Homo-oligomer: A and B are copies of this chain.
């Protein structure tokens, strides 16, 4: 294969073409030295161009870029990492039980990183491991990560945030917006989901359908999401003058099991509610199980709402009305923030959630 001889760029001389052809046919790896040699500049100049430095004459830049293209040169990431003490690896740190969420996030992050010559190194961990902080410190330092993305609930862990600051590594936290403004100001870059918006729509949807006797199964109150979602559901109901029935207001922890047990408790009572809001789809699936056992028909006798749009939710019978978070979009934007934005100061991006109405909710 020879360098396209019909070259529109008259900056590429016959001499250069000859050099390129020789390199290409030698089958050896093309390095910065080859580019420098062919373009007749120093490798420092090539380095400047690779790293988007401004201090290069336009003409020089154009020539070098063309040579890079013709040689199919890509800089060696390990060599760059060694010299600059920064790798082109991004770490994804999480401890999360929801596989779909993790996979969607990975896809979104990679949507962006791919265009950027970076790779994603996954690092699931155990938030109850007492060596968590040291272990993550090792990970970041050894791999000289160019950035870290923290998923909830680890993104809320003060120890990890402090670690990122101590290591001076760019990081982006994926979090849910707190309604509670008495919280200390948020630290570092964040991609924030607003669980509240979709929940408000869901509450409104139920209230408008005529439901007045409404049960509630809460999320794990240690997570901001549980508070946010509740605030949203309540606001949506209240806009139509409806409140959660305190008689059927049960705690939960986002697990199928607590959803099931809470629903059993609620549904066994004689004036049982006509709708139950569960703080996530897992628990909503627990409500389905309880309803099934008690022979209560969804949606005819009971409407159910969840949160997450888990794969599960569309597979339930009837399919579950739920709230969706744009997880993949959030991942893509988190990666972009990490790479493009200097991490000093506050940076945030906000993503609302959406109500998805399916077959589990019905009016009278």
Interface residues of A (CB under 8 A from B): 74, 76-79, 81-82, 87, 89, 99-100, 102-104, 106-107, 110, 117, 119-124, 138-139, 142-144, 256, 282, 285-286, 288-289, 292-293, 311-312, 314-318
Contact = CB atoms under 8 A, between A and B. Distances in A.
A24 B286 CA distance: 55
A97 B255 CA distance: 23
Contacts of A107: 124
A100 B104 CA distance: 11
Contact of A78 (B106, B110, B144): B144
Contacts of A77: 142-143
Contact of A289 (B123, B138, B317): B317
Nearest to A101: B99
A78 B142 CA distance: 9
Given A106-B122, A293-B317, 18 more contacts: A74-B138, A78-B78, A78-B81, A79-B82, A89-B119, A99-B102, A99-B104, A99-B311, A102-B103, A106-B124, A110-B122, A110-B124, A120-B122, A256-B315, A285-B315, A285-B316, A288-B317, A292-B318
A315 B82 CA distance: 49
A121 B120 contact: yes
Contact of A82 (B76, B120, B122, B317): B76
A275 to B, nearest CB: 18
Nearest to A314: B256
A364 to B, nearest CB: 22
A286 B106 CA distance: 28
Nearest to A144: B78
Contact of A312 (B76, B89, B311): B311
A313 to B, nearest CB: 10
Contacts of A139: 119
Given A82-B76, A315-B256, A318-B292, A143 B124 contact: no
